[in-house]
Structure 1
């Protein structure tokens, strides 16, 4: 029985690129079950591609094969690889930082370089700009369909050599928690930080507390205000901000039925810093 095949890219759906990846995969095995993670990763945004894998992969069965193509270096000497996670799932991708969040938060057991002399779409050898179709979808489909084993992908590489993006850790000291804004909950404009719930509660933050939130980028103050730490959006009034625990067990910042990101022009990445401290309400 074939494995699930899940596709992610920054290609969008306005042309035939994703359809071509489907076609190549189904040509390998017409019975493959193919699913989309997302094809709306912002162009060239390797960081977001890495995070969306981390956000999603744990909810899929063992042996699921993920193909992730956010590849501004297509055609260069960056490696094409398949990584096997500690939970026995596979990720087919360029080794350009896309594996950062999986490596740091879930774990990678083994990684292999794709042998393009074998695992490449026939008659595509002179094309160097669509590896998503010619290498990644083709190899992912062959692996998912059991045409090849993981060992037949290519030579084994050192997990310690996987390319990682800069990803500073959240910290807590003297009741002050600092971190970064990793990603947006795009549809609703909520901010997802890298501060996990355990670190937060260790700093004696409790539901119902009033907290001061400061957001800065490149040493420029963007936002500073107090808000409640709530279990759900109903713990704040319509249009009010709150802090909550999101679906990946990290702290989120939101406006009840509004977009925090749009309201305050907030971006994401290591240069977007957030600081949280408890407000002293004693008179």
Structure 2
């Protein structure tokens, strides 16, 4: 049975790189269905590549094969791998931290190193700068179409040996929630944190409550203000900030019909920290 193949890269679509990956994959089996996760990962941003996989993978059928190529170390001695997740999906990728969020949030049951003597595009020559085409798209297509099994990828490697980026878990202390700004909702400029709904609710919150929100990059404070917690963007006035639960069941920060990220020059990643402190209600007699 032919499975789906989903591609993610930092290549963009301005040239022929993504099209070449499509061509290689379809050459393996013309009936293969290929989809794009995104090709707009910021260049070399392994963290964002890792997060976008986590954001997306659970909505795809079991057996779907993902190819993720954000590979600043292409041509070096970094490994090329395929992992099998606890949710029975497969990811073909360089071993450079791309599987960080998957391993941390979903789990990896097995991993294999790609044997390029078998799983490399024939006649691809001595090129070592386009593994996305020559190794990953080719191997992913072969796995998705049943030309090879997972065991046919190459030798098994220890899951614990996979490269991971550092992750700091969200936590609650003294009436405040602390976490990271993991990613941006790119088109709308909302901030997506790693503070999940259940952790946030341990603060005994209600819709309409006020919170002091502080955002820092390393040790420099970028933003500090008071905002309310709403069910949706309609719970705030135009241009006002708010806290809300995003589509991944985590706390988001937004401006109603505006870009919070652009307005306050905020980015995402391991160095971007957020704290959310519940304010006491003022009762007027």
Superposition TM-score, scaled by structure 1 size: 0.99
- Deviation per residue, 1:169-194 (Å, 9 max, x gap): 11101211111111100000000011
Within 5 A, what are the aligned runs for 1:131-142?
A: 131-142=131-142
Within 5 A, what are the aligned runs for 1:258-277?
A: 258-277=258-277
Give 3-state SS (helix, strand or coil) of 1:152's partner. helix
- Look up the match of 2:119: 119
- Look up the match of 1:100: 100
Superposition TM-score, scaled by structure 2 size: 0.98
Q: Which runs of 5+ in 2 are unaligned?
A: none
- Deviation per residue, 1:10-68 (Å, 9 max, x gap): 00000000000000000000000000000000000000000000000000000000000
- Look up the match of 1:60: 60
**Separation of aligned partners in 2, 1:151 and 1:8:** 23
- Look up the match of 2:184: 184
Deviation at 1:221, TM superposition (A): 1.5
Deviation at 1:206, TM superposition (A): 2.2
Deviation at 1:203, TM superposition (A): 1.9
Determine if contact 2:203/2:278 at 8 Å carries over to the other structure. Answer: no
- Look up the match of 2:145: 145
**Separation of aligned partners in 2, 1:125 and 1:113:** 21
Determine if contact 2:41/2:48 at 8 Å carries over to the other structure. Answer: yes
The alignment covers a number of residue pairs equal to: 283
Q: Does 2:37 match 1:37?
A: yes
- Look up the match of 1:280: 280
**Separation of aligned partners in 2, 1:219 and 1:150:** 45
Give 3-state SS (helix, strand or coil) of 2:49's partner. helix
**Separation of aligned partners in 2, 1:198 and 1:125:** 52
- Deviation per residue, 1:242-283 (Å, 9 max, x gap): 000111111100000000000000011121111101112325
**Separation of aligned partners in 2, 1:93 and 1:38:** 15
**Separation of aligned partners in 1, 2:69 and 2:209:** 42
- Deviation per residue, 1:188-211 (Å, 9 max, x gap): 000001111111001212221111
Determine if contact 1:175/1:204 at 8 Å carries over to the other structure. Answer: no
- Look up the match of 2:209: 209
Determine if contact 1:3/1:32 at 8 Å carries over to the other structure. Answer: yes
Q: Does 2:164 match 1:164?
A: yes
**Separation of aligned partners in 2, 1:256 and 1:66:** 34
Greater Cα shift, 164-173 or 60-69? 164-173
Give 3-state SS (helix, strand or coil) of 1:181's partner. strand
**Separation of aligned partners in 1, 2:94 and 2:272:** 26
Cα RMSD of the aligned pairs, angstroms, is 0.8
Q: Which runs of 5+ in 1 are unaligned?
A: none
After TM superposition, what 4+ stretches of structure 1 lie above 6 angstroms from structure 2?
none
